[in-house]
Amino acid sequence: MERLGGGGSGLIAAVVRGLVEGYRSSSALEAAQRSTNQATWAEISLVLESSVFLLMGLQLPAALADEQDVPPTRAVVLALLLVVRALVVALMLAAARHRSCPGT
């Protein structure tokens, strides 16, 4: 195992390693493996992004409680944004399912 001299950053080393492996994977992996790898990372990305929005949603009641005099238009806009986000996530999931089994 190689070491970075003089207190190098482990994070930078991990990023560089990922970039090198990603570059090599195009010749080291078969097409089916690359396709599976890409689909897996797309799902992981979707789950992580959805988790961030879930955490934001959990903090929403506390944020709204701080605002005693919330104008109704602000509440309507907020509700509309939440509905639009839910629709976008639903469409993304439907598209992912359709791509994974195109015969259905």
Instruction: Please tell me the distance from the alpha carbon of residue 96 to that of residue 99, in angstroms, as a whole number.
Output: 5
Place 100 in a pLDDT band, splitting at 50, 70 and 90.
Answer: confident
pTM: 0.43
pLDDT digits (tens, 9 = 90+) for 34-68: 788 888 888 998 899 889 888 888 887 777 677 66
Q: Residue 37: name the closest of 46, 49, 26, 47 by CA.
A: 26
Q: What is the DSSP string of 17-84?
A: HHHHHHHHHHHHS-HHHHHHHHHHHHHHHHHHHHHHHHHHHHHHHHHHHH-SS--HHHHHHHHHHHHH
